[in-house]
Structure 1
Amino acid sequence: MTIDPARRLWAIGEPFHALTYFADESRTAYTEAGLRGFWAGYFAGRAAPLGPVGPALVTATFGSFAPDFVARRVPEVWTTTPPADALAARLAGVDAAARRALPDWLGSPEAQEAATLARRGAEAVDVLGRPLAAANTDVPWPVEPHLMLWQALTTLREHRGDGHLAALLQQDLLGLPALVLTAAAGTTSADWLQKARGWSPGRWAACAEELTGRGLLADGALTADGVALRAAVEADTDRLAQGPWTALGQAGCDRLAELLAPVRQAVVAAGEWPAHNPIGVPEPA
């Protein structure tokens, strides 16, 4: 199966981006910056490019968390760790994690080339209607190639995510409905998603009943219409993510994929990519 270039680059690059969430070094860096617990680091690190925002904006831009789950962390995280400190912590954590997982790659010509290509793509993102991507384009570029690469992949990832929320909104699936359909598809368990996104069993069940009424679920499983609608959302997400990759060109995309493949393998081998992470993408072709 031929994978869409935007999807392929996302799948290959996502584990390196995700060091900021799952690497021990990242958790340590957030803790040292005053952010206690996984979710404090997650929300502060990811939202920091937006500034000291409140829970409503974080809920809206992240798109899958229960509002009360967000409100238990935001804006409290800014009382201990201003956005500038959270940005510094997320870079420090990624830096330390990359030095452990990729010691022979850092400073290599391949790292510099990958950073240059990814930055070219990130600088071509369209920011209208893309709040998280736009906020990340305002973050100063790190000097070190591996950190420049991380910032570029993060910007591209958030650009794709912004488009994904737009695709879900168009189909009236934004938020909890998308998670319920994801669980029904078998991508990630309902129990894990409820816990990780803060949704109560009661609200989950009510949403599943609504989706059943829409003909997208039957006895908790996806109907043919549900399968088709999820496929349409993913196709629209790929379409909306094409801009920066088109700007990079086919040769640039192929070369970046080639350069990122060993990075992805090293991060996964180092154990920084949890099997339960609901990324929902195929293995890179």
Structure 2
Amino acid sequence: MSTEPLARRLWELYEPLHAVTYFAPQARAAFEGAGLRGFWRGYFAGRAAPLGAAAPAPVTALFFSFAPAMVARALPDVWQRLSPEQALAARLDGAVAALRSVLPHEPARWAEAADLLEIAAGAAMTDGRALGGANAALPRPADPLARLWHAATVLREHRGDGHIAALVDAELSGCQALALRDALYGGRERLQPSRGWTDSEWEVAARALHTRGWLDADGRPTGAGEAAHRAVEDRTDRLAAQPWTALSAGDQARLSHVLAPLAGAAGALLPYPNPIGVPRAVAGG
């Protein structure tokens, strides 16, 4: 039996259902059909839309790991092209189309997974969690796949808000968090351009980690750096655990069973490695 915390095991199963909105061609086509050309316009419009026509500063703060200049290239320009309501509709339409294209055609499984995820999502405490709270406040869709995607989205943004709280508590900036992740696992060639940081900004972040004793002189993680990373991940799991207390142990096990084939199918649309950290077994790599 897995020794991973329940919140992490379930995240690995529901995250691919949400993440199709970033990686599936149907999702990009939906944003382009709504008038947003270019991946990042759709990304920032779709993910920020639950907040309303948000300005760059709060989005930079809440998304955490993106360079301010990168956010400012997309916002507020996207709100001149479509409204937040239109962005939400495109986001949901694209996600549902993507899921429908790859999930096994088992409507009863979709509905059962949605029912169980909605119990957890409905119980999630969103105090201090802006993205989780904003998504939780959106109307509940009627279509089973839309319900499935929406519940997974509420839970992933709830978890993400907690993860950022753990990083802030560790006194890490967004770029420093990425630089530490790169030192531990590699991936700077993906992480840096996908989050918009310049070489000089990245090097400043790495030097700050060295000053704290978390990286050595060659940029390798020290024992203290590894321990700090583990502490952030452990706290993220603890902060994500509360919604799952709304499900009995039996329902938790049933949800894992019902989600597994759906996660595997949706994971086939994700690249590996990917910037959101979905593991190889789920991503289908």
- TM-score over 0.5 (shorter chain): yes
Residue in 2 that maps onto 1:176 = 175
How far has the Cα of 1:91 moved from its partner? 1.0
The answer on whether the counterparts of 1:26 and 1:93 sit within 8 Å (CA) in structure 2 is yes
The answer on whether the counterparts of 1:165 and 1:174 sit within 8 Å (CA) in structure 2 is no
Matches within 5 A, 1:1-285: 1-102=2-103, 104-105=105-106, 108-186=107-185, 188-218=186-216, 219-269=218-268, 272-280=269-277, 282=279, 283=281
How far has the Cα of 1:220 moved from its partner? 1.1
Give the distance between the partners of 1:51 and 1:236, measured in 2 at CA: 29
| Aligned residues with identical type, % of pairs | 51
What SS is found at the alignment partner of 1:3?
A: coil
How far has the Cα of 1:96 moved from its partner? 1.2
- 1:212-261 per-residue CA deviation (whole Å, 9 max, x = no partner) reads 01000011111000000000000000000011011223222211111110
CA-based RMSD of the aligned residues comes to 1.2
- Structure 1 88/194 Cα, relative in aligned 2: closer, same or farther at 3 Å? same
Give the distance between the partners of 1:190 and 1:99, measured in 2 at CA: 33
- 1:263-284 per-residue CA deviation (whole Å, 9 max, x = no partner) reads 1111233xx1111213335557
Paired amino acid for 1:104 = H
How far has the Cα of 1:145 moved from its partner? 1.1
Paired amino acid for 1:146 = L
The answer on whether the counterparts of 1:59 and 1:65 sit within 8 Å (CA) in structure 2 is yes
Give the distance between the partners of 1:162 and 1:239, measured in 2 at CA: 12
Give the distance between the partners of 1:33 and 1:103, measured in 2 at CA: 28
How far has the Cα of 1:30 moved from its partner? 0.2
Number of aligned residue pairs: give it: 279
The answer on whether the counterparts of 2:190 and 2:275 sit within 8 Å (CA) in structure 1 is no
The answer on whether the counterparts of 1:49 and 1:83 sit within 8 Å (CA) in structure 2 is yes
How far has the Cα of 1:41 moved from its partner? 0.5
Give the distance between the partners of 1:103 and 1:264, measured in 2 at CA: 11
TM-score by length of 2: 0.95
TM-score by length of 1: 0.95
Where does the alignment leave 5 or more consecutive residues of structure 2 unmatched?
Answer: none
- 1:118-146 per-residue CA deviation (whole Å, 9 max, x = no partner) reads 00000011111000000001111110111
How far has the Cα of 1:191 moved from its partner? 2.0
Give the distance between the partners of 1:236 and 1:278, measured in 2 at CA: 20
Where does the alignment leave 5 or more consecutive residues of structure 1 unmatched?
Answer: none
Give the distance between the partners of 1:192 and 1:278, measured in 2 at CA: 7
